[in-house]
């Protein structure tokens, strides 16, 4: 179990339920989205739901710091709209710009609250 193997980068012991996924995505403007960012996709429960909701010509940038989860997503989710980025959310601005995106339409985070810095650790 990855949560035990790497507790520094895994915030959940089970994937998000479909009820949680639906509740988190319900109010987002996904039908007209061009670029969507997911932070902490893990094994892809939310990722798959996002891909089911975004347009066929949209892009989903999935930021996953855990390299095992990144590899898992790349090999198990075969959707050309998905771009798995093995990097921290702190690299979001740099990575989106590097890919030519000036803005994103929605951001979804599945990060555990204990992983989010309180500001004292944020880069200046």
Q: Residue 71 sits in a domain of what CATH number?
A: 3.40.50.150
Task: Please check whether residue 78 lies inside any domain of the structure.
Answer: yes
CA nearest neighbour of 16 among 37, 39, 44: 44
Task: Give Cβ neighbours of residue 5 (< 8 Å, ≥ 6 apart).
Answer: none
Task: Please check whether residue 17 lies inside any domain of the structure.
Answer: no
Task: Please check whether residue 12 lies inside any domain of the structure.
Answer: no
Q: Measured between alpha carbons, how far is 25 from 20 in angstroms, rounded to an integer? A: 9
The answer to whether 64 touches 70, Cβ cutoff 8 Å, is: yes
Task: Please check whether residue 123 lies inside any domain of the structure.
Answer: no
pTM attached to this predicted model: 0.77
**Structural domain tally of the chain?**
1
Query: Does residue 79 surpass a pLDDT of 50?
Result: yes
pLDDT in tens, 33-73: 999 999 999 989 899 999 999 999 999 999 999 999 999 99
pLDDT in tens, 19-35: 677 777 888 999 999 99
Task: Please check whether residue 102 lies inside any domain of the structure.
Answer: yes
Q: Measured between alpha carbons, how far is 9 from 55 in angstroms, rounded to an integer? A: 30
């Amino acid at each position: 179990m990855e949560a035990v193997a790497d507790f520094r980068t895994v915030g959940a012991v089970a994937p998000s339920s479909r009820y949680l996924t639906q509740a988190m995505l319900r109010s987002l403007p996904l039908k007209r989205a061009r670029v969507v960012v997911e932070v902490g996709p893990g094994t892809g429960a939310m990722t798959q739901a996002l891909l089911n909701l975004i347009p066929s010509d949209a892009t989903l940038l999935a930021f996953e710091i855990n390299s095992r989860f990144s590899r898992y997503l790349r090999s198990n989710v075969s959707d050309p709209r998905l771009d798995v980025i093995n990097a921290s959310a702190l690299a979001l601005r740099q990575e989106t710009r590097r890919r030519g995106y000036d803005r994103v339409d929605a951001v979804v985070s599945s990060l555990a609250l204990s992983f989010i810095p309180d500001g004292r650790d944020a880069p200046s």
